[in-house]
């Protein structure tokens, strides 16, 4: 039989402090979910989206895990790289929910500045496409005074992304890279290479 512990908890609904008897296995699995003092508070919590099955709750728990748990596979890119979760969110899912609202369908949490922390002023709900464009590994270009990605430039100009990248890597200017015509540049082997769309 599993060893039982008496653990003091604060109910996230009524704020009542109480001692709960929790098995070692169950408690270790529950360390990222709210523990309620009674069934009534548990029901209120689930209706308000505090349930562990809620997508918003899973995202909050995921942020905490990758920023705080050194055993998590993603920790080296987040907590290990200095990315933090603000104290307001670290201590309370309810605060996270108040600041961010429920997760919109098809969206996930995105840090606006990839070098910044998880905090209200640096986070938004974003589509997979928006998140892909916000990666630090993206090539950014200054087009008409606006910083955009190669993918965005491709959508604006109608020139394929791979063609733009190929032309830029071959030494063409940005303006030359987005024109729909053939260019020739001397290749490494001394022969002329056609740079066409």
Residues 6+ apart with CB under 8 A from 32: 52, 61, 64, 65
Do 117 and 83 contact (CB within 8 A), yes or no? yes
Mean pLDDT (whole number) for 35-55: 69
The helix/strand/coil state of 189 is coil
The helix/strand/coil state of 174 is helix
**Per-residue confidence (pLDDT) for residue 134, from 0 to 100:** 77
- 147 pLDDT band, cuts 50/70/90, is confident
Burial of 34: CB neighbours in 10 Å, binned 0-12, 13-18, 19+:
buried
Weakest mean pLDDT among 99-103, 121-125, 161-165, 179-183 = 179-183
Mean pLDDT (whole number) for 79-83: 93
**Per-residue confidence (pLDDT) for residue 125, from 0 to 100:** 95
Reply yes or no on whether the pLDDT at 170 is more than 70.
yes
**Per-residue confidence (pLDDT) for residue 23, from 0 to 100:** 53
- 47 pLDDT band, cuts 50/70/90, is low
Q: What is the per-residue pLDDT across 3-34, written as a single tens digit (0 to 9) for each? A: 556 677 777 767 777 777 655 444 434 455 66
Helix (H) or strand (E) holding 196: none
Domain-wise residue ranges, the chain: 1-53, 71-135, 140-195
- 70 pLDDT band, cuts 50/70/90, is very high
**Per-residue confidence (pLDDT) for residue 191, from 0 to 100:** 59
- Determine the distance from the C-alpha atom of residue 10 to the mean position of all C-alpha atoms in its chain, rounded to a whole number: 29
Reply yes or no on whether the pLDDT at 162 is more than 60.
yes
In terms of Cα–Cα distance, which of 153, 134, 131 is closest to 142?
Answer: 153
């Amino acid at each position: 039989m599993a060893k039982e512990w008496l653990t003091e908890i604060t109910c996230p609904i009524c704020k009542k402090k109480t001692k709960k008897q929790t098995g070692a296995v169950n408690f270790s699995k529950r360390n990222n979910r709210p523990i309620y003092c009674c069934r009534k508070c548990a029901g209120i919590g689930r209706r308000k989206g505090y349930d562990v099955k809620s997508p918003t709750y899973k995202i909050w728990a995921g942020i905490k895990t990758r920023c705080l748990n050194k055993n998590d596979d993603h920790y080296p890119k987040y907590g290990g790289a200095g990315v933090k979760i603000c104290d307001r969110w670290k201590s309370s899912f309810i605060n996270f929910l108040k600041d961010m609202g429920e997760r919109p369908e098809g969206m996930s949490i995105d840090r606006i500045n990839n070098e910044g922390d998880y905090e209200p002023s640096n986070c938004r709900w974003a589509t997979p496409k928006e998140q892909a464009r916000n990666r630090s590994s993206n090539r950014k270009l200054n087009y008409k005074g606006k910083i955009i990605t190669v993918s965005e430039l491709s959508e604006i100009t109608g020139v394929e992304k791979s063609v733009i990248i190929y032309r830029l890597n071959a030494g063409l200017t940005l303006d030359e890279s987005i024109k729909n015509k053939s260019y020739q540049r001397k290749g490494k082997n001394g022969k002329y290479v056609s740079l066409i769309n």
